[in-house]
Amino acid sequence: MAKVELKKPVVDEISEKIKDAQALVLVDHRGLTVAQDTELRKKLREEGVTYKVYKNTMMNFAFKGTDFEQLKDLLNGPSAMAVSTNDPAAPARVLYNFAKTAKALEIKGGVIEGKFYDAQGMSEIASIPSKEVLLSKLLGSMQSPIANFARVINQIAEKGGAGEAAPAEEAAPATEEAAPAAEEAAPVETAEAPAAETAEAPAAE
């Protein structure tokens, strides 16, 4: 009973880490130097990935009844688990890239969004860009048409805007000149009116 009680806090700790995990990757870390292990933990931490070495029996207890129970056959030899709750591809991406230079690091396999992947599958998952990179590419593709449209509108304004403004300015004086002409014509019609009335008056008598 004493041994079970000692194991329970560790099992609970693992269970808490994997509760909301989108990805969990198991690795054999034997052969890594202290400097390499420190550098690996740093890179994983920068990507929001938690990394810790646990006994296989403890992980086996914690994995039971979860999607990560699929990893039970990989729980042999020294094992460390890398867990991500945000980016499903992050653990595989960091571990795979790190293993290119640290040959001692062995990726056993993992579970990504509920699906099991072996070591070969992990290399394929590792090629998926991070969310930040994908969002950056998406925003870039969205902004490109907008930028092109704005550039075209600006060019039209620079080339055609000035040419269209000149006729409008020239039309204004013509309108102003037409006004005095109309005013001069009015007295002519008024002057003829009395003459017509004077000529008709004797005929009526």
> What is the predicted pLDDT for the residue at 194?
47
- Separation between Cα atoms, residue 102 and residue 99, nearest integer Å: 5
Cβ proximity of 23 and 112 under 8 Å: yes
CA torsion sign, 104 to 110 to 112 to 113?
A: negative
Q: May I ask the CATH class of domain 2-128?
A: alpha beta
Q: For residue 153, what is the enclosing H or E element?
A: helix 131-204
pTM: 0.62
Cβ proximity of 71 and 109 under 8 Å: yes
> What is the predicted pLDDT for the residue at 134?
47
> What is the predicted pLDDT for the residue at 22?
94
Domain ranges of the chain: 2-128, 130-186
Mean pLDDT score across all residues of the chain: 77
Q: How confident is the model at residue 139 (pLDDT cuts 50, 70, 90)?
A: low
What would the pLDDT profile of 163-173 be if each residue is shown by its tens digit? 444 444 444 45
> What is the predicted pLDDT for the residue at 181?
47
Q: Shortest CA distance to 82 belongs to which of 42, 127, 115, 121?
A: 42
> What is the predicted pLDDT for the residue at 205?
38
Q: How many CB atoms lie within 10 A of CB 129?
A: 13
Q: Residue 36 class from Cβ within 10 Å (0-12 exposed, 13-18 middle, 19+ buried)? A: middle
- Separation between Cα atoms, residue 9 and residue 24, nearest integer Å: 20
Stretch 113-130: mean pLDDT: 86
What would the pLDDT profile of 38-96 be if each residue is shown by its tens digit? 999 999 999 999 999 999 999 999 999 999 999 999 999 999 999 999 999 999 999 99
Q: How confident is the model at residue 147 (pLDDT cuts 50, 70, 90)?
A: low
Q: Residue 106 class from Cβ within 10 Å (0-12 exposed, 13-18 middle, 19+ buried)? A: middle
> What is the predicted pLDDT for the residue at 123?
85
Stretch 121-144: mean pLDDT: 66
